A and B are shown apart, each in its own frame.
Chain A
Amino acid sequence: MNPVNSLSGPLADPAADAGYAAGHPPRVGFFTDTSVCIGCKACEVACKEWNALPADGVGDHGAAGDVLGLTGMSYDNTGGLGASTYRHVAFVEQRVPARDSAPVDLGMPSTDLPGAVQPGADREDATEVRWLMSSDVCKHCAHAACLDVCPTGSLIRTEHGTVLVQEDICNGCGYCIPACPYGVIDQRQGDGRAFKCTMCQDRLGAGLAPACATACPTESIRFGPLDELRERADARLAELHDRGVGEARLYGRDPDDGVGGDGAFFLLLDEPEVYGLPPDPVVTTRDLPSMWRHAAGAALAVAGAVAAAFLGGRR
Chain B
Amino acid sequence: MSAPEHRTATGAPRRRHGGGRGKGRGERLMVPEAEFTSYYGRPIIKPPVWKVPDVPAYLYLGGLAGVSAPLAALADLTGRPGLRRLGRIAAAGGATASVGFLVHDLGRPTRFLHMLRVLKVTSPLSVGSWILAPFGALSGATAAAEVLGVTPRLARASGLAAGALGPALTTYTAVLVADTAVPAWHEGFRELPFVFAGSALASGGGAGLLAPGDVTPARRVAVAGAALELAATAVLERRIGFAAKAYRTGRAGTVLRAARAGTVAGALGALASGFLRGRRGRALGAVSGLLLNAASAATRYGVFEAGMASARDPEYTVRPQRERLEARRSG
Contact = CB atoms under 8 A, between A and B. Distances in A.
Given A273-B314, A288-B122, A294-B190, A299 B170 contact: yes
A149 B214 contact: no
A100 B108 contact: no
A314 B111 contact: no
Interface string B165-189: 0111011101100111110001001
Contacts of B285: none
B262 to A, nearest CB: 20
Contacts of B49: 174, 177, 186-187
A153 B194 CA distance: 29
Interface residues of A, number: 92
Interface stretch (B10-18, B89-97, B154-162): B10-18
Contacts of A281: 181, 321
Contacts of A193: 107-108
Given A92-B13, A95-B10, A298-B174, A309 B45 contact: no
Contact of B78 (A151, A182, A269, A310): A310
Interface string B1-37: 1111111111111100000000000000000000001
B42 interface: yes
A151 B45 contact: no
Nearest to B122: A148
Contacts of A145: 180-181
A177 B106 CA distance: 13
Which of the four size classes fits the interface of chain B?
Answer: 35 or more
B220 interface: yes
A97 B10 CA distance: 9
B321 to A, nearest CB: 4
Nearest to A312: B216
Nearest to A276: B39
A273 B181 CA distance: 16
A169 B196 CA distance: 31
Given A62-B42, A274-B39, A276-B44, A306 B74 contact: yes
A152 B106 CA distance: 12
Contacts of A113: none
Contacts of B42: 61-63, 79-80, 276
B299 interface: no
B167 A302 contact: yes
Contacts of B7: 247
Given A173-B125, A179-B179, A191-B107, A298 B196 contact: yes
Contacts, number: 297
Contacts of A62: 42-43, 47, 312
B1 A284 contact: no
A171 B114 contact: yes
A278 B318 contact: yes
Nearest to B227: A305
A170 B222 CA distance: 39
Interface string B33-65: 000011110111111111000000000000000
A75 interface: no
Contact of A315 (B4, B214, B324): B214
Interface string A159-193: 00000000001111111011111111111000111
Q: Across the A-B interface, give the 4 residue pairs with the lowest CB-CB distance, nearest first.
A: A172-B107, A192-B107, A276-B39, A244-B3
Interface of B: 1-14, 37-40, 42-50, 66-67, 70-71, 74-75, 78, 80, 105-109, 111-112, 114-115, 117-118, 120-126, 129, 166-168, 170-172, 174-175, 178-182, 186, 189-190, 193-194, 196-197, 200-201, 205, 214, 216-218, 220-221, 224-225, 228, 307, 311-312, 314, 317-318, 321-322, 324-325
Given A276-B42, A298-B170, 9 more contacts: A96-B9, A130-B9, A151-B115, A178-B182, A179-B180, A294-B190, A296-B171, A299-B170, A306-B70
